[in-house]
Structure 1
Amino acid sequence: MIVVTTPTSSIGGEVLQGLLDREAQVRVIARDPSRLPSHVQGRVDVVRGSHSDPDVVSQAFADADAVFWLVPPDYRTHSVEASYVDFTRPACDALTSQRVERVVGVSVLGRGSALADNAGLVTASLAMRDLIAKTGVGFRALALPSFMNNLLGQVEAIRSQGAFFDVLSADRKFPTVATRDIAAVAVELLLDDSWTGQDDVAVLGPEDLSCNDMARVMSEVLERPIRYQRIPGEAFKAGLLGNGMSEAMAQGLLDMRQAKDNGLDNVEARTSRSTTPTSFRQWCEEVLKPAVLA
């Protein structure tokens, strides 16, 4: 039995589908089971509730061989660390009491780097990673850069203004990854019962690109001029606050972006093992372009 958390999220949903395609036995934790895709309902065991709830995770982890762990963002949190670490504490207790053998968790790049010490969501995610590791469970932490799919949040600006915005330096090259490739790595690890111990698994797209590079690729794929516009950190944060985000989360996101601009995501050397197949151009052709043209 494999337990999938956040089964209606982008990554969690793709992990769930990948496991079902391989005919795995799956249990999901869902706050609202009605949000599960119709083709999934009836094919998985469902435990209703939040995976921050001790009773929910204890029930869900019973007789489970492996767990896919992802903490959903809490945009109204008063503490970024609490939104990761405190959220995960009940799961750590349940991993031990229910004797779960293996966990595959979504984490971030930067462990061991001084750049991660004050990097907002990165710092909190790595603290969560270490909390899970202390249980002694077999653990693979997926060490991830920024997601290509994050650009989908700027589809309207790309469509109407021919631009996308961030606080990153225009020429800073960094890795990104498509969520479908993250899910593919997670599925393989969840189905493989031969590994033990604990390790970080870097998951990197096939190239490092700057925001200006991305703008060039988007322009070519969309067949219209797309530019990158760098914005000041305070303006970035003000926009998040204006959209209802808490002070703590807005500052945490800004701290993370600034750490990435200082090279946080460049600390991990790309290897054949860590390189995923989807290029940014391919992602633009297959995901971004349909979204912009919709």
Structure 2
Amino acid sequence: MYVIFGASGNVGRATATALRHAGHDVRAVVRNQAQQDMFTRIGCETVHADLDDEASLHRALDGAHAVQMLCPLPHRDPDPGSAMHRMIVTAARALREHPHLHVVALSDYGAELDEDTGITMLFHELEAAFKQNVPRLTLLRSAEHMHNWMRVLPAALATGRLPSLHHSLDRQFPTVAAQDVGVLAAHLLSEARDEDGVRIVSIEGPSRYDANDVARAFSEATGRDIAALALPRDEWTATLLRAGLSTNHAKLITDLYDAQNAGRIDVDPRTERRFGTTSLRDALAALTQTVNA
């Protein structure tokens, strides 16, 4: 039995689907009825669990031989960093009680760094906690997800300008489609792991892109003229707060992009490297079509 935490997310859904297509038994961990119905239709068992509730994690893990673990940043929490830290501690403690499991934990480019990386610092904490508590561990570090750009598409359609925290606009950065991460995760889960140890795999897309490429892809997908706009650094926090983020959440994002723009966050060359097949153009076109539908 393969257990997928965060099954309703873009990566988790792709992992569960790939495993089911390969004929494997899958248990999707969900939080509401609507999510449950989606996975029941493709033949998954479903279970309700909460990363703040250790007892529910044990129920979800019962009978499993491999698990995909995601500790997401809780966007609605006023202090999302502290909330995610608590989830990491709870998940690590629960996994320690199931030492036979092969765990594929979703992580981030830059998770090897131990200071001043914003959101990525939380994945550094996750990796450290899981290394201490999970004997058979695969860490899957992914580049920035292409679908994150959908958050600023409404502003781009309204103004013709795509706001970017990537500076400069022609600086290329690694990015990857969520479905490619999910497909790779399914492959890693299904590989036999008979020995204890930590394996670290990194994934990004087939090419690197810059913010101008993103604007061009949206222009093609929407039929609208959209140009990238480098949002001035001194406007970042106010813009994020106007978008509804808490002060703590905004700080995590600004620290992250400061580190990225300084060239500190990239693939760790010591890891195994994999490359997805979905281009930025295809990913954004598909996402835009879904929103329109």
Moved more, 19-28 or 39-48: 39-48
In 1, distance between residues paired with 2:7 and 2:103? 16
Corresponding position of 1:182: 181
Where structure 1 has 5 or more consecutive residues not aligned to the other structure, the ranges are none
CA contact (8 A) 2:111 2:127 kept: no
Moved more, 191-200 or 96-105: 191-200
Query: Structure 1 51/216 Cα, relative in aligned 2: closer, same or farther at 3 Å?
Result: same
Corresponding position of 2:35: 35
Corresponding position of 1:255: 255
In 1, distance between residues paired with 2:98 and 2:292? 48
CA positional deviation for 1:133: 1.1
Q: Which amino acid aligns with 1:225?
A: D
CA positional deviation for 1:34: 3.2
Corresponding position of 1:129: 127
CA contact (8 A) 2:69 2:104 kept: yes
Q: So what's the TM-score if we normalise by structure 1?
A: 0.88
CA contact (8 A) 1:110 1:264 kept: yes
Q: Identity, % of aligned pairs?
A: 24
Q: Matched residue of 2:229: which SS?
A: strand
Corresponding position of 1:153: 151
Q: Matched residue of 2:174: which SS?
A: strand
What's the RMSD between the two structures over aligned residues?
2.5
CA positional deviation for 1:41: 5.0
Corresponding position of 2:64: 64
In 2, distance between residues paired with 1:217 and 1:272? 29
In 1, distance between residues paired with 2:281 and 2:176? 12
Query: Structure 1 220/98 Cα, relative in aligned 2: closer, same or farther at 3 Å?
Result: closer
Q: Which amino acid aligns with 1:66?
A: A
Query: Structure 1 97/40 Cα, relative in aligned 2: closer, same or farther at 3 Å?
Result: same
CA positional deviation for 1:193: 1.9
Does residue 59 of structure 2 align to residue 49 of structure 1? no
In 1, distance between residues paired with 2:221 and 2:271? 28
In 2, distance between residues paired with 1:108 and 1:202? 8
Corresponding position of 2:22: 22
Q: Matched residue of 1:90: which SS?
A: helix
Mapping of residues 197-236 of structure 1, within 5 Å = 197-236=197-236
CA positional deviation for 1:241: 2.2
Query: Structure 1 99/62 Cα, relative in aligned 2: closer, same or farther at 3 Å?
Result: farther
CA contact (8 A) 2:176 2:203 kept: yes
In 1, distance between residues paired with 2:152 and 2:259? 21
Query: Structure 1 81/157 Cα, relative in aligned 2: closer, same or farther at 3 Å?
Result: closer
CA contact (8 A) 2:147 2:284 kept: no
In 2, distance between residues paired with 1:267 and 1:69? 21
Q: Matched residue of 1:266: which SS?
A: coil
Query: Structure 1 99/241 Cα, relative in aligned 2: closer, same or farther at 3 Å?
Result: same
1:228-257 per-residue CA deviation (whole Å, 9 max, x = no partner) reads 111134433223323432221111111112
In 2, distance between residues paired with 1:224 and 1:7? 34
In 2, distance between residues paired with 1:250 and 1:265? 18
Q: Which amino acid aligns with 1:141?
A: L
Query: Structure 1 209/50 Cα, relative in aligned 2: closer, same or farther at 3 Å?
Result: same
In 2, distance between residues paired with 1:236 and 1:159? 20
CA contact (8 A) 2:39 2:46 kept: no
Q: Matched residue of 2:175: which SS?
A: strand
CA contact (8 A) 1:63 1:100 kept: no
Moved more, 31-40 or 89-98: 31-40
Q: Which amino acid aligns with 1:119?
A: T
Does residue 163 of structure 2 align to residue 165 of structure 1? yes
1:4-58 per-residue CA deviation (whole Å, 9 max, x = no partner) reads 1122112112212222222211222222133234462583333223122110011
In 1, distance between residues paired with 2:33 and 2:91? 20
Moved more, 95-104 or 42-51: 42-51
Query: Structure 1 247/102 Cα, relative in aligned 2: closer, same or farther at 3 Å?
Result: same
In 2, distance between residues paired with 1:179 and 1:28? 17
CA positional deviation for 1:220: 4.4
Where structure 2 has 5 or more consecutive residues not aligned to the other structure, the ranges are none
1:115-156 per-residue CA deviation (whole Å, 9 max, x = no partner) reads x51111101111111101111421111111211111122232
Query: Structure 1 129/269 Cα, relative in aligned 2: closer, same or farther at 3 Å?
Result: closer
